[in-house]
Amino acid sequence: MKVPIYLNKSNPIGYFYLMILVTGGTGLVGSHLLYQLAKSGENIRASYRKKDSINKVEEVFGYYTDTPSTLLQRITWVKADISDISSLIPLFEGIELVYHCAALISFSPKDYTALVQANVEGTANIVNLSLEHQVKKLCYVSSIAAIGPSSKGKVTTEENEWKDTNVSVYGLTKHEAELEVWRGSQEGLQVVVVNPGVILGPGFWHTGSGTFFKYASKEKKSYFPGGTGFVSIHDVVGAMVKLMKSNISREQFILVNENLTYKELFQKMASELQVSAPSKPIPFWLLEIAWRTDWLKSNLLGKRRKLTKNMVKGLYYQETYSNKKIKDAIDFEFEDLDKAIKFCCSILTNRTLSS
C-alpha cells in the first residue's frame, strides 16, 4: 500500500510502501491475494508450510500473466506454522498490515483438535504478534460457516444470532477464531473480518469448490438438494484489499455474490464445460444413509470423513445471505458470477486437454 509523505497538508513530497504480511499464501485466497498485491507493486512477505506449495502459487499467477516468476520475486517467503508461535516471530519484523488467510479446512469431527490448533490457537498467535509489533491493521478471512446456519426462508446478515447447534466443527472453530480477532480489537488492534460464501476460483481442483467443477466435468447424473451463497475469488480479494485501504475497522462483512441452488450451480458449470448437467436431486433418505455409512467407514476403517450429519442437514434447504453491508460500506460491485464460472471452466478444460 502506497502511503504519501507530506511536508505540509496538501502536497506530498514522496511515497513509501507498507510491508504486508499474508499468512496462508499458498492457498486459494492467499495465492490470488498475493497476485493482486504483487501486481500493485506492494512489498510482501508470505508464509508457507511446504516448499512445493509455492509452485502452486506460480501456477495461479500464470492464469493471469505470462511472466509469473517476475511477480513472484516481489514476495519474501518464510516457512512458518501458525500453531507454532516461535516460527511466526520472523514473519512480523517490520510488518504493518496483515492478511490472515491461513486455516485448516475439515468437516470431520475427528479433526476437531487439529482445527482448534490451526484456526483458533493459530489466529490467537497472529493477533498477539500483531499487537506486539503494533501492526496498523489486520484482515481476517473467516467464512459464512462462522455466521451460523441460515434460517429457512430468511435472509442471513452479519447480525445473525450464533447458535452452535447443527454447526460443523470447521464453522465452530472459525467462529471461535473470530472471537480472538474481536479480543484483539478490544486491545487496540484495527481489524476487519470477511465471511465469504463458497469461493469459486481456479487452481485447487481437489479441495473446496474445485471439487464442484471436477464433479460437473465428469457428467454426474445427480445434484445435491438445497443451495447456499457463492462468490468469486476475485471479489473476495478485491473486497479485502479495499477494506484494508479504508478507514473501516471493527466490522465484519458477508461476501456473497449470488445465492444459488446446487442444481443452478451445476447447470452453469456444465454449460461452460459443454457437458450434460446433473438432472436428478439426491434423495434425502439416501443422504441420511450416506452420512451414516461414511461414519462407519471412518470408525471401522479409519477413513477420512467426507460427509457428516451437519453437512447433510445443511443440504436440506436453500441458505440465503445478504451482501448489502459490503455494498453500502465501500460502494462495492460484485463481478458477474457467470463470468467467474466461465473463467474457471476454461482453465480446467485447458488443464485437462494438456494433461
Q: Give residue limits of the domains in the chain.
A: 2-211+229-256+320-332
CA 23 to chain centre: 12
Helix (H, G, I), strand (E, B) or coil at 44: strand
Residue 28 · residue 208 · CB < 8 Å: yes
Mean pLDDT of the chain: 91
Quote the CA–CA distance of 204 and 27 in Å, as a whole number: 8
- Residue 186 identity: Q
Q: Per-residue pLDDT averaged across 18-33, rounded?
A: 96
Cell of 221: 447424473
Which class for 345: exposed (0-12), middle (13-18), buried (19 or more C-beta within 10 A)? buried
Quote the CA–CA distance of 106 and 307 in Å, as a whole number: 11
Q: How many Cβ atoms are within 10 Å of 164's Cβ, its own excluded?
A: 10
Quote the CA–CA distance of 120 and 103 in Å, as a whole number: 9
Helix (H, G, I), strand (E, B) or coil at 232: strand
- Closest CA relative to residue 194, chosen from 235, 152, 151, 245: 235
> What pLDDT sits at residue 274?
96
pLDDT digits (tens, 9 = 90+) for 162-185: 887 778 999 999 999 999 999 999
Q: Per-residue pLDDT averaged across 197-210, rounded?
A: 94
pLDDT digits (tens, 9 = 90+) for 32-91: 999 999 999 999 999 999 989 999 999 999 999 999 999 999 999 999 999 999 999 999
Is 16's pLDDT higher than 70?
no
Residue 228 · residue 144 · CB < 8 Å: yes
Task: Assign 3 a pLDDT band (cuts: 50, 70, 90).
Answer: very low
Helix (H, G, I), strand (E, B) or coil at 240: helix
- Comparing 13-22, 252-261, 289-298, which segment has the lowest mean pLDDT? 13-22
Quote the CA–CA distance of 210 and 105 in Å, as a whole number: 14
Is 221's pLDDT higher than 70?
yes
- Closest CA relative to residue 123, chosen from 69, 59, 188, 193: 193
The pTM of the full predicted model, rounded to 2 decimals, is: 0.92
Task: Assign 301 a pLDDT band (cuts: 50, 70, 90).
Answer: confident
- Closest CA relative to residue 253, chosen from 172, 311, 332, 188: 332
Cell of 2: 502506497
Considering the segment(s) 2-211+229-256+320-332 as one domain, its CATH architecture is 3-Layer(aba) Sandwich (3.40)
pLDDT digits (tens, 9 = 90+) for 222-248: 999 999 999 999 999 999 999 999 999
DSSP secondary structure code for residue 111 in this structure: G
Q: How many Cβ atoms are within 10 Å of 59's Cβ, its own excluded?
A: 16
Task: Provide φ and ψ at 135, rounded to 5°.
Answer: -60, 140
- Closest CA relative to residue 102, chosen from 197, 34, 19, 55: 34
Q: How many Cβ atoms are within 10 Å of 140's Cβ, its own excluded?
A: 27
DSSP of 45-68: EEEES-TTHHHHHHHHHHTT-S-H
- Closest CA relative to residue 80, chosen from 22, 138, 142, 18: 22
Which residues, including other chains, have CB under 8 Å from residue 162's CB and lie 6 or more apart?
A: 147, 148, 175
320-321 and 227-232 as β-strands: parallel, antiparallel, unpaired?
Answer: unpaired
> What pLDDT sits at residue 5?
38
Quote the CA–CA distance of 137 and 281 in Å, as a whole number: 45
